[in-house]
Chains A and B, each alone.
Chain A
């Protein structure tokens, strides 16, 4: 009996070691709700996990081009929420986001989208001017304009909290950067006001790009 227990412990330790060894190729978690879906395939019950994904949307970018979910097909992207007259956390968020932009702007399969939560003031020309002043050009980083309802609705899918103006006339929003993979699944959330977390985001994007799922997806 004692021998069996010993053997069991040894096996347990061994398998623990083995798992540790497998972790050398890091993978990012998949965030958001998930539900098991059981289908019958060839007479057998197969259970698959369905992850929550970003649903279809339609916004306009700083060039007045229409941007939909299709525009991001086959792209890894980072999303955030801001407004151009934001006096608090936005400048620091976009100072940090510029590092992400500089790192990946040569990559056709990478995008950044920043939704304005103040569409009334942040019209397309205002967004274009902001982009110019921020020093971003080309099609790596899109500043997206849409109705308040659409923007606030899609924020929920990114697990980001945005709210109407508070009594002081300020918009309340959090400064998260959300990493989304080519299957439109959430793979990470990072505090965009913290340079260390944004450095981690850049590292995680590099990790994500090497995942077999991401390499294969077109």
Chain B
């Protein structure tokens, strides 16, 4: 009985340690993600839609995980400077102009990108401030 109690306590302790270890990263991710969802609503949702579905052939969806992965390092520049010209998303061609979200700070860009790349069927992990700052230096 005593043994069972000790084992139980030790197990519980281990679980608690593992959980709190995870949560450091998880907390940071959640902070970016939830901040990003608010920014998405204010800056992106009108065009890209509540579920990232886009609008017919006018506005591309944000559900093309392959595009987001391949262009991961350019996404910050797309947001900050806008995007113009032909692009192929989910096998469909889009041509138009996404206005620049020049008023977003790098941390806000990081939050929005974390939200988008982990919503609508995407699951690509955290894009943090350092990443965005590095990416923005490489904008063409």
A, B: real partners = yes
Is B99 engaged at the interface, CB distance under 8 Å to the other chain?
Answer: yes
Q: Does A87 contact B (CB under 8 A)?
A: yes
- Residue A85 lies at the interface, judged by CB distance under 8 Å to chain B: yes
Partner of A89, one of B46, B55, B59: B46
B57 near A91 with CB under 8 A, answer no
- CB-based contact B97/A134 at 8 Å: no
Q: Is A130 an interface residue (CB 8 A)?
A: yes
Q: Is the pair B49, A95 in contact by a Cβ cutoff of 8 Å?
A: yes
Instruction: Decide if B58 touches A134 in the complex (CB within 8 Å).
Output: yes
The reply to whether the CB of A94 lies closer than 8 angstroms to some CB of chain B is yes
Q: Is the CB of B56 within 8 A of A134?
A: yes
Q: Is B47 an interface residue (CB 8 A)?
A: yes
Known contacts A85-B97, A87-B99; is A135 also within 8 Å of B46 by CB? no
Q: Are A95 and B55 CB-contacts (below 8 A) given A87-B47, A88-B46?
A: yes
Cα–Cα, bound, A87→B58 (Å): 12
**A133 adjacent to B58 (CB under 8 Å):** yes
Instruction: Please pick, from B46, B56, B97, the residue contacting A133 in the complex, using a CB distance under 8 A.
Output: B56
Asked if A92 lies at the interface with its beta carbon under 8 angstroms from chain B, I say: yes
C-beta contact mask, A53-95 vs B, less than 8 Å → 1, else 0?
Answer: 0000000000000000000000000000000010111011011
A-B residue pair count with CB separations less than 8 angstroms = 30
- Which residue of A94, A95, A98, A133 contacts B57 across the interface (Cβ within 8 Å)? A133
Closest to B57 in A: A133
Q: Which residue of A lies closest to B100 (CB)?
A: A87
- Is there an interface contact between A130 and B58, defined as CB atoms closer than 8 Å? yes
With a cutoff of 8 Å between Cβ atoms, the chain A residues found around residue B59 in the complex are 91
Q: Which of A87, A92, A135, A193 contacts B56 (CB 8 A)?
A: A135
Q: Which residues of B contact A130 (CB under 8 A)?
A: 58
Complex contacts, A134 vs chain B, CB 8 Å: 55-58
Across-interface contacts of A87 in B (CB, < 8 A): 46-47, 99
Q: State how many angstroms separate the Cβ of B17 from the closest Cβ of chain A.
A: 46
Complex CA gap A88/B46 in Å reads: 6
CA distance A95 to B45 in the complex (A): 11
Chain B's closest residue to A92 (CB) is B46
Q: How long is the Cα–Cα vector from A92 to B49 in the complex, in angstroms?
A: 8
Determine how close the nearest CB of chain B comes to the CB of A133; give it in whole angstroms.
4
> A-facing mask of B75-102, CB < 8 A → 1, else 0?
0000000000000000000000101000
Q: Which residue of B lies closest to A134 (CB)?
A: B56
Task: Write out the residue numbers on chain B whose beta carbons fall within 8 Å of the beta carbon of A132.
Answer: 57
| Chain A contacts with B in 79-131, Cβ cutoff 8 A | 85, 87-89, 91-92, 94-95, 98, 130
B46 with A94: CB separation less than 8 A: no
Bound CA span A98–B49, Å:
14
Residues of A within 8 A of B (CB): 85, 87-89, 91-92, 94-95, 98, 130, 132-135, 193
- Give me 27 A-to-B residue pairs in the complex whose CB atoms sit less than 8 angstroms apart, sorted by A's number: A85-B97, A87-B46, A87-B47, A87-B99, A88-B46, A89-B46, A91-B46, A91-B47, A91-B55, A91-B58, A91-B59, A92-B46, A92-B47, A94-B55, A95-B49, A95-B55, A98-B56, A130-B58, A132-B57, A133-B56, A134-B55, A134-B56, A134-B57, A134-B58, A135-B56, A135-B57, A193-B46
Known: A98-B56, A135-B57. 4 other contacts (CB 8 A): A87-B99, A95-B49, A130-B58, A133-B57
The chain B residues found within 8 Å of chain A, CB to CB, are 45-47, 49, 55-59, 97, 99
